[in-house]
Amino acid sequence: MLRKISEDADTIDTMWYTLNGGINIKFTENGTINSGNWTALSDGVVTLTFYANNTLGGFDFDSVVINKVT
């Protein structure tokens, strides 16, 4: 995931994710998805997309599709 950016992790500038292409949610380290944003989603297919850019001008993203069932 995010291979182009993560090869030199020291240069990572900003990381964020979206749920179904919604608002950008910034994060600084590994953790959990914001529970309020997750709960607000309806059951069904959810696309979780991670983005990162670095101080060298690189940008990359990767997505995972999740079937949400509550």
Parse the chain into domains and list their residue ranges: 3-68
For 42, list phi and psi in degrees, rounded to 5.
Answer: -75, 160
End-to-end CA distance of the chain: 27
**Lookup result for tokens 């910034």:** 26
Q: What pLDDT, in 10s, does the model give residues 15-62? A: 999 999 999 999 887 778 889 999 999 999 999 999 999 888 888 899
What sign does the CA torsion over 2, 39, 30, 56 have?
A: positive
Question: Taking the model in full, what pTM does it have?
Answer: 0.83
Q: Would you say domain 3-68 falls under CATH 3.40.50.300?
A: no
